[in-house]
A and B are shown apart, each in its own frame.
Chain A
Amino acid sequence: MSVLYIALPVAILLALAAVIAFVWTVSRGQYDDLDTPALRMLEDDERRRPRHRPATKNETSLREEADHPDDSRQQ
């Protein structure tokens, strides 16, 4: 019994995990737009507060929903 019998499956499992993660990110559309999210994170969270009136709970949840659009509902 060699250590290879453990190391090799572990290596394959790691690769499998990476592939699964990749497939997941692809099907979530994370590679559809490669430019904008990188810029969006530079934005200051403080400034996203609406100034005219505070956002209602409903609006906040809608915003969050809109931030993670489900592909099946896209036009």
Chain B
Amino acid sequence: MIPINSPRSQPERTPVIDEIDGNETAQSSGQGICIHCDLPIPTSRQHSSGPEFCCAGCEVAYAILQDMDPRLLEEIAEAKTAGPSELTYEEMDHPRFLELYAHQLDSGLNRIRLHLEGIHCASCVFVIEKLPEFLPGVINARVNLTTATLDCFWNPDAVALSEIARTLDRLGYRPHPAQPNETERLYRLENRKHLIRLGIAGACAGNVMLIAFALYAGMFTGMSAEHLNLFRWTSAGLALVSIFWPGQIFFRGALLALKTRVPHIDLPVALGITIGGIAGLVNSIRGSGEIYFDSLTVLIFLLLVGRYIQFRQQHHALSQLSLLKNITPRHARLVTDTEVLTVPIEVLQAEDEVEVRAGDVIPADGVILSGDSSVDESILTGESRPRRVLTGGEVTAGTLNLTSPLRMQVQSVGEQTRIGRLMNLVELGVSSKLPLIELANRIAGVFVVTVILLSLLCLGLWWSSGAKVAVANAISLLIVTCPCALGLATPLALAVAQGKAAKRSILINSGDAVEKLARPGFLWLDKTGTLTTGEMQVQVWQGDQSRFRDIAALEQQVVHPIATAIQGYIEQQTGGALTDLPTPEETQARPGKGISGTVNGHQLLIGTEALVTSEGCLISPAYQQSIADCRSQGLTTVLIAVDGELEAVCGIGDSLRPDSRATLDHLKAAGWSIGILSGDHEEIVNPIARQLDIDPEFVHASVLPEEKLQIIQQSTPRGLTVMVGDGVNDSAALAAASVGIAVHGGAEASLQVADVYLNRPGLSPLRELIDGARMTNQVIIRNLLISLAYNLLAAGLALGGLINPLIAAVLMPTSSLTVLVLSFMNRSFRETHA
């Protein structure tokens, strides 16, 4: 499962590319732990002086414990309220927002549920629930630590919601409205129904088992017919409750299967329950023969447990999808006749005019009315290079405006946007992916019928030797063939593998994935972020290195992946020794082309070949050659001219992850077919595919997310299809593939729909996963063979009358024990030397 401790995505700052385990904790490991609760301190809270805390809650709690003066709390709260905040949350006071998210109570109070970022320990709960004490007007604040939500009751006449939000923000918990979600409510109700069914089935099974002990004991010591009848009828009563209340879901499923004429696991289960129940009842009435109520009730209980686990897992995958809405920002800047208003995104309608500042996420699909900027569309298309947009150009929701402000006219909002439609596809993919029915489940129904028939056969065979012997042998058979081991074989091996994999930072969401990955199939890989590091890096630098300071000073003026790459390279080359850079003058960003400016009296021009030549700069043949070289490698070339002279050429591109090649070679050797699905241009993808020896037939460049999904869907019927990716643009494909694998550092959307998450950089965990899956499958097969062989042997012995019920009772657990030991001793997911 994906760990819950991931920081929620922050729409205002980083749209979605939040690492799941948070850079924060990873980086801070060397930088100290919270003085109060020992959790690592996130970078955002690292101060230079004084004791350090992981959250505001710990700070308050610590202060209170240090000095029991009650005024301290108030003082700290006031200090926090006085602190600066970058967000005003004014959109939360918009009537439409309140209508959508808040709930008016009869008492005149309002109630809202907010998702809070950064809740992670008891102290957080402590300080947030103190809200009514330092913010008059807030009546009650209740935190749910599991879901990181706050239920807040406030008096709208005394305090504005934006004020509450600002206070929470200042305390360090950034609030987001939680969608009043119908599916969430239905889930809660369904969850409770499941729990009640489980409780009743468990109680019945437990009591029937206790009575069964008495009955089995009575076999040896003898029991009066009167007591025997009492026990039988009591367990019959309990079993009927179990069959008709919790057990009815099997009958309903079976009826549905009959109606739709689609075979379903519920059919044999219902059949088994019916036959067992009727046989038991008949025998109870007759007052002789075996009653099957103990096995029946336990079977119902165990099947319900399995079903509940499956239900929870499926919900986990689906519920997280609402978070995908975080890809688009929560608010937009609506342009009215007189002013620019911050409004919640729900207010936006087609034809509205919206302002999008540099660094903002674009809130809706639309057309640019005015402006000239670059847009980072990698989230949607996977293309690593920013695209220039001009007046009249189209932009899509969820993408990032990089360089300068834009005015746009909204065309479609919410679910109608491209990203909204994509997310619908993702949801469809997850919900249509049928959970693999556990092998144990599949066998259980048939098993029950077989065992009952066998015991009847046994009874028949031994009838001539007297009823007593016949019954004893039949019972031995029933006990000794207890399906525990068979039932345990698959889930136990999978659970052990999942645990071991988690220790190796491979998080497996569903056991199915392990079963499926055991045999080779078709492996589709995304390029950006999966095969490559996903970051623009300077790979070729030809020319003068003496002007690094000036170049860095100029590049610091813009937010652009290429500028960041150049800065990073310079920092690396100079050993990070660049301090007090000169201030450039006359800086001019030229969207889609480059940047120019004067630094230290020199005129610098950094940009494309077209830009540099248009400024009258000549390119010598040597540089011509290096430009051509860069192009052929699929690198973006950037030229640097100083005072009209070309001084350097650099090639910038995404570099291959160091372990990509070795991993793919290993997988190819194991029989996997490998292809690339990338949103990036052919000229960038093809050199990478060549480096990795991937058949050009299976290399798809410039594919849209919808096309990725299509390729996966076409490929699925031909066999096992595995998709490995990291971006939002991969998420639909990840959800549709037989097994979706998200790699380290991926977008939240992709992590949530993936079956497996590799929480370690690089591709080598993929190799470990596939090798581990193969070994786990061997363990499963071995377990099944052993328990089947055991049951066959035991049934044979019982049929032959060679064991009595006591020996059977001793033998029964040994098979389970064997399976248990074998599962834990398996060698999958051991540390391998890649």
Interface residue ranges, A against B (CB under 8 Å): 2, 4-5, 8, 11-12, 15, 18-19, 22-23, 26-27, 29, 31-36, 39-40, 42-43, 47-53, 59, 62-63, 65-67, 69, 71, 73-75
Q: Mark B175-193, 1 if CB is under 8 A from A, else 0.
A: 0000010000100100110
Minimum Cβ distance to chain B for residue A26 (Å): 5
Q: Please state if A66 and B139 are interface contacts (CB–CB under 8 Å).
A: yes
Of the listed residues A47, A59, A62, A66, the one surrounded by the most CB atoms of chain B closer than 10 A to its CB is: A66
In the assembled complex, how far is the CB of residue B213 from the closest CB belonging to chain A, in whole angstroms?
13
Distance in Å from the Cβ of B245 to the closest Cβ of chain A?
Answer: 10
On whether the beta carbons of B133 and A19 are closer than 8 Å, the reply is no
| Distance, CA A29 to CA B184, complexed state (A) | 14
User: Among residues 628 to 685 in chain B, which have CB atoms less than 8 Å away from a CB atom of chain A?
Assistant: none
Complex CA gap A19/B231 in Å reads 21
Least distance between B223 CB and chain A CB atoms (Å): 11
CA distance A29 to B207 in the complex (A): 26
Interface size on B, as a range, is 35 or more
Is B139 a contact partner of A4 (Cβ separation < 8 A)?
A: no
In the bound assembly, the distance between CA atoms of A23 and B201 in angstroms comes to 12
- Known contacts: A15-B207, A67-B140. The answer to whether A73 contacts B192 by CB under 8 A is no
Q: In the bound complex, what is the Cα–Cα distance between A26 and B191 (angstroms)?
A: 9
B150 to chain A, nearest CB (A): 11
Q: State the CA gap A36–B196 with chains docked (Å).
A: 22
Partner-contacting stretch, out of B105-113, B262-270, B483-491, B534-542: B105-113
Q: How far is the CA of A25 from the CA of B74 in the complex (A)?
A: 37
A35→B149 CA distance, assembly (Å): 12
Across-interface contacts of A42 in B (CB, < 8 A): 122
Q: B807 — which chain A residues lie within 8 A by C-beta?
A: none
In the bound complex, what is the Cα–Cα distance between A2 and B122 (angstroms)?
55
B278 within 8 A of A: no
Q: Which of A12, A35, A36 has the most CB of B within 10 A?
A: A36
Listed in ascending order, the chain B residues whose CB lies under 8 Å from chain A are 64, 70, 73-74, 103, 105, 107, 109, 111, 113, 122, 125-126, 129-130, 132-134, 136, 139-140, 142-147, 151, 153, 180, 185, 188, 191-192, 195-196, 199-200, 203, 206-207, 210, 226-227, 230-231, 234, 238
Q: Are B199 and A63 in contact (CB under 8 A)?
A: no
> Considering the chains assembled together, what is the distance between the CA atoms of A12 and B139 in angstroms?
45
| Complex contacts, B105 vs chain A, CB 8 Å | 73
Contact at B103–A75, with CB atoms within 8 Å? yes
Q: Are A33 and B146 in contact (CB under 8 A)?
A: yes
Chain A interface secondary structure, helix, strand, loop or mixed? helix
Q: Do residues A59 and B139 form an inter-chain contact, with CB atoms below 8 A?
A: yes
Residue of B nearest to A60 (CB): B139
Q: Complex formed: what's the CA distance from A29 to B195 in Å?
A: 11
Please tell me if the beta carbons of A12 and B188 are within 8 angstroms of each other in the complex.
no
* Extra pairs beyond A8-B231, A35-B144, A47-B70 (15, CB < 8 Å): A8-B234, A11-B207, A32-B144, A33-B144, A33-B147, A35-B145, A40-B125, A40-B129, A51-B134, A59-B139, A62-B107, A62-B139, A66-B111, A66-B151, A69-B151
Sample of 10 A–B contacts (CB below 8 Å): A2-B227, A22-B196, A23-B196, A26-B192, A27-B192, A27-B196, A51-B134, A62-B139, A66-B139, A71-B188
Also in contact, A39 and B122, with CB within 8 A (given A47-B73, A50-B133, A52-B136):
yes
Q: State the CA gap A36–B126 with chains docked (Å).
A: 10
In contact, B153 and A12 (Cβ under 8 angstroms): no
Known: A8-B230, A66-B142. A74 touches B185 (CB 8 A): yes
Across the interface, do A67 and B142 meet the contact criterion of CB distance under 8 Å? yes
A50 to B180 Cα, complex, angstroms: 30
Q: Are B142 and A63 in contact (CB under 8 A)?
A: no
- The residue on A at minimum CB distance from B194 is A26
Chain A residue contacts of B231, Cβ below 8 A:
8
Given the known interface contacts A23-B196, A47-B73, A66-B139, the answer about A4 and B230 at a Cβ–Cβ threshold of 8 Å is: yes
Which of chain B's residues has its CB closest to A2's CB? B227
Query: Which residue from chain B places its CB closest to the CB of A66 in the assembled complex?
Result: B140
Task: State whether A12 and B196 are in contact (beta carbons under 8 Å apart), knowing that A36-B145, A39-B122 are contacts in the complex.
Answer: no
Which of B103, B122, B140 lies in contact with A63, CB distance below 8 A? B140
CB pair A75 B111 closer than 8 Å = yes
Contact between B113 and A75, CB atoms less than 8 A apart: yes
For the complex, what is the distance from the CA of A52 to the CA of B78, rounded to whole Å?
A: 12
| A19: B residues at CB distance < 8 A | 199-200, 203
Residues on the B chain within 8 Å of A51, using CB: 70, 73-74, 133-134
Q: Determine whether the beta carbon of B146 is less than 8 Å from that of A26.
A: no
Given contacts A32-B188, A43-B126, A62 and B109 within 8 Å (CB-CB): yes
Q: State the Cβ distance, B511 to closest chain A Cβ, in Å.
A: 24
Scoring A42, A48, A74 by chain B CB atoms within 10 A of each residue's CB, the highest score goes to: A74
Report the minimal beta-carbon distance from A34 to chain B, rounded to whole angstroms: 7
Shortest distance from the beta carbon of B184 to any chain A beta carbon, whole Å: 10
CB distance from B775 to the nearest CB of A (A): 35
CB distance from A17 to the nearest CB of B (A): 10
Question: A74 to chain B: which residues have CB within 8 Å?
Answer: 185
On whether the beta carbons of A53 and B142 are closer than 8 Å, the reply is no
Bound-state CA distance A4–B228 (Å) is 11
What residues on A are CB-neighbors of B226 within 8 Å?
A: 2
Q: CB within 8 A of A53: which of B136, B180, B206?
A: B136
Query: Nearest Cβ distance between residue B678 and chain A, in whole angstroms?
Result: 42
CA distance A62 to B73 in the complex (A): 24
Q: Tell me the smallest distance from the CB of A4 to a CB of chain B, in Å.
A: 6
